[in-house]
Amino acid sequence: MSDYVVSLLVRIGVEAFVALSAYLLLVIGRISFGQQAFFVIGGYAAGISTALYGAPLPIGIIVGALAAGLAAALFAGAMARAGGIYFAAGSLARGELARVALLSFHHQVPVGADLTGPAGADGFRGIRALFTSGMSVTAYMVAIWGLLALTFLAIALLLRSRWGEAIRMVGEDETAAAAVGVRVGRVAGLTMVGAGALAGMGGGLFAHYATYLEPGHADVMLGVHSLAYAFIGGLGTPLGPIIGVAFDIGLLESFRFLAGYRMIIFGGLVMALLVLRPRGLLDEVTVHRVTRRLAGRRA
């Protein structure tokens, strides 16, 4: 496999975590422009634990996810009850807050001969746990996709459970959900924490692939794109956002002859879909039809 294809697959895999994160929030009816905040928090936390404190790579990834989950819990504590434009605006502010905070975040410690750690606007260099572990980049890419497959399965199972049903009910109508016994605040809050942890996991995985992170990685475009991925692929299944990422990065960005037109096609597609299929290609109705047909064949 060429280095280029591997790097493409790593990027699709990593962004799929952020897309799934934004997707989970859409399922509870919240629009977030700020999941990139948890992406960088997870990345920085994972990088700090491996590069500065010598944690093994898998532990680092877990630390990143936990840190992002914790940050999401703090945010959820303040925003779980806010809906609609208030939540969206809050998430946007949070994304920018993370970016600006990182600009002045310095935490460097001597590792070997050098100082390593976040250095404000200069970013965080030397996150080398992947390369010192001797794992090949291809193996890492496969590991990312393995993790993504597990995450996908877990979310798909969750959404088919009664828990998942409660989550979808909150997304459709909070008052009605409460009336059938759903604890809306708790369900929304826990979903936000899980979504934050997912984005954080993506951040940790990315940090160790790129070996460095900078505040610019919390750019709002990452949040906007991950939101759009779910709207392209569809809200009916967690496969939707993954399809969205694969389409954007795999097709639009990788084909040379599309160079320069990517954002035009991407933006145009998002607009067309919002009009023609407001809940994406694989929306709830389509997914329901397909699963019924499959079930019918089995019976």
Partner 1 sequence: MLAIERLSKQFGGVKAVQHVDLDVRQNEILGLIGPNGSGKSTIVNLVTGVFPPTEGRVRFKDGDITGWPPHRVLAAGVGRTFQSIRLFGGLTVWQNLWVAQNAQSEGGRGVLRRWLAVDRASMTKIEATLEFCRLLDKKDELASNLAFGDQRRLELARTLAAEPDLLLLDEPAAGMNAAEIEDLRERLLALKRRGKTIVLIEHHMELVMTVAERVAVLNFGQKIAEGRPAAVQDDERVREAYLGQRR
The tokens describing 213, both together, are: 């992170």
Stretch of 1-9, 74-82, 157-165, 211-219 lying at the interface with partner 1 (CB under 8 A): 157-165
Say if residue 153 is exposed, middle or buried (CB neighbours under 10 Å; 0-12, 13-18, 19+): exposed
Of residues 207 through 236, those in contact with partner 1 by CB under 8 A are 236
Residue 224: other Cβ atoms inside 10 A: 18
- With b meaning 16 or more CB within 10 Å and e meaning fewer, what string describes 80-119? beebeeebbebbbebbbebbeebeebeeeeeeeeeebbbe
Nearest to 278 by CA among 267, 270, 286: 270
Shortest approach of partner 1 to residue 169 CB, angstroms? 5
Q: How many residues bind partner 1 (CB under 8 A)?
A: 24
Nearest to 83 by CA among 167, 174, 191, 193: 174
Query: Does the protein bind partner 1 through residue 153 (CB under 8 A)?
Result: no
Query: Does the protein bind partner 1 through residue 179 (CB under 8 A)?
Result: yes
Stretch of 70-78, 160-168, 200-208, 221-229 lying at the interface with partner 1 (CB under 8 A): 160-168
CA pair distance 201, 45, nearest whole angstrom: 10
Residue type, 196: G
- With b meaning 16 or more CB within 10 Å and e meaning fewer, what string describes 260-295? eebeeebeebbeebeeebebbbbbeebbeeeeeeee
Query: Does the protein bind partner 1 through residue 293 (CB under 8 A)?
Result: no
The residue from 166, 201, 218, 228 that contacts partner 1 (CB under 8 A) is 166
Query: Does the protein bind partner 1 through residue 82 (CB under 8 A)?
Result: no
Closer residue to partner 1 in complex, CB, 125/279: 279
Contacts of 87 (CB under 8 A, 6+ apart): 30, 31, 32, 79
Query: Does the protein bind partner 1 through residue 292 (CB under 8 A)?
Result: yes
Closer residue to partner 1 in complex, CB, 182/192: 182
The residue from 119, 178, 220, 265 that contacts partner 1 (CB under 8 A) is 178
Query: Does the protein bind partner 1 through residue 260 (CB under 8 A)?
Result: no
Residue 150: other Cβ atoms inside 10 A: 10
Closer residue to partner 1 in complex, CB, 57/80: 80
Closer residue to partner 1 in complex, CB, 157/271: 157
The residue from 106, 113, 175, 276 that contacts partner 1 (CB under 8 A) is 175
Stretch of 31-39, 66-74, 131-139, 179-187 lying at the interface with partner 1 (CB under 8 A): 179-187
Positions that interact with partner 1 (CB under 8 A)? 157, 161-163, 165-166, 168-169, 172-173, 175-183, 236, 284-285, 288, 292
